Amino acid sequence: MKTKSAGRKRNWQPKAGWGVPAAWLTLCIVWSSTWLAIKIGLRDLPPISFVAIRFLIAIVVLIAVSIGRTRLLPLRRNDYAVLAITGILMFAVNYTLLFWAELHVSSGLAAVLQATIPIFGMIFAHWMLPDEPLRLQKLAGALIALGGVTVICSRLLGFSGPLAFWGGVAVVIGAASAAFANVLVKARSIPLAPAMLAAWQMIFGIAPLLVLGFAIDGNPARFHWTAMSVFCLLYLAVIGSALTFLLLYWLLPRLTVAQLQSISLITPPGAVMLGWSLGGETFPVWSLLGAAFVLVGVWMIFRKVGTGQRVVQQEGAEAQLPHV
């Protein structure tokens, strides 16, 4: 009994320090602010090249902090195929659609719509992961959240025009792509350190974007580089991508699944508040009502997941978190 108690004390000890709440709060603040940083950066930078350059910088940072600390290359040849597929879905499809959408919808609504990742993840997991069946409560939460998405998109179509409507649809399609990528990575269980797993996904994801961006947007040297656009790019790449990935994976063994997934419920309201207070964005009552339905639905999906349990595998919680 003495050994068992000592072991339990060691397991929970990391929660006692200031590092865990500080890291959790940092993730909430940063992931709430990245949406507005994207919106501001898009005033000067084209979306495809913006995505590609952002994650190119993030790759350099992740590799730099991983050299000498962990293995850089996947062990199995098949892992490269999984990383390529999931990287394209996560970083090429998801982020390109998201950045394009923010040209036409507010940063706050984009954050709310991207919060549908766990809904699609739950559906894909039901078919791809035998130990994660679809429960009635989760299904009800998904229906409520999708109802909120319908309210938001109908509001966009009726009052903001077709481009805003298709922007909202694009964010939801991107969220579904990201969710499928996350579940596929979890199903294949690639034996690679989380930072390098993310780096390899970024490498495969941005490779076509670099070519496409150069063909469509032109030479990056000729972009309208301003001090603000450079700041937004570096903030998104270093703080919003590399740092948050490292903080997330550091927190995984130190928090419960419920505590970690609560970030998904905090960042959309945070993004709405920042968009309203700093970005001058307005949110009609119907859009806010739709956003409330989305968050209630996501909360219902998370409510019983991992309550009182610690995170054992990184994919279990990470697969349900929208990264921006």
Residue extents of the structural domains in the chain: 27-318
Q: How many CB atoms sit inside 10 A of residue 220's CB? A: 16
Which amino acid is located at 290 in the chain?
Answer: G
Residues in CB range of 9: below 8 A, 6 or more apart: none
* DSSP label of 240: I
Q: Are 276 and 291 in contact (CB under 8 A)?
A: no
What percent of the chain has pLDDT above 90? 40
Q: CA distances (Å), 76 to each of 44, 81, 83, 187, 190, in order?
A: 41, 10, 11, 15, 9
Q: pTM of the predicted model, to two decimals?
A: 0.83
DSSP string of 229-291, one letter each residue: HHHHHHIIIIIIIIIHHHHHHHHGGGSBHHHHHTHHHHHHHHHHHHHHHTS-----HHHHHHH
The more confident residue out of 212 and 289 is 212
Hunting for tokens 């991207």 — which residue is that?
Answer: 114
For the residues 10-26, what does the mean pLDDT come to?
A: 69
The more confident residue out of 50 and 157 is 50
**Statement: residue 292 has pLDDT above 80:** yes
**Statement: residue 7 has pLDDT above 70:** no
Q: CA distances (Å), 279 to each of 44, 50, 107, in order?
A: 15, 19, 9
C-alpha torsion 63→317→31→165, nearest 10:
110
For the residues 194-203, what does the mean pLDDT come to?
A: 91
The more confident residue out of 144 and 234 is 234
| Mean pLDDT for the chain overall | 84
Name the pLDDT band for 132 (thresholds 50, 70, 90). Answer: confident
| 43, two tokens | 């005033």
Q: Of 272, 300, 206, 286, which Cα lies nearest the Cα of 32?
A: 272
Region of poorest pLDDT, from 59-68, 186-195, 203-212: 186-195
Q: Of 152, 120, 131, which Cα lies nearest the Cα of 272?
A: 152
Helix ranges, the chain (H): 2-12, 19-41, 47-66, 77-87, 95-101, 107-114, 117-128, 136-159, 162-188, 194-217, 227-234, 244-251, 257-261, 263-277, 285-302, 314-318
Hunting for tokens 């938001």 — which residue is that?
Answer: 152
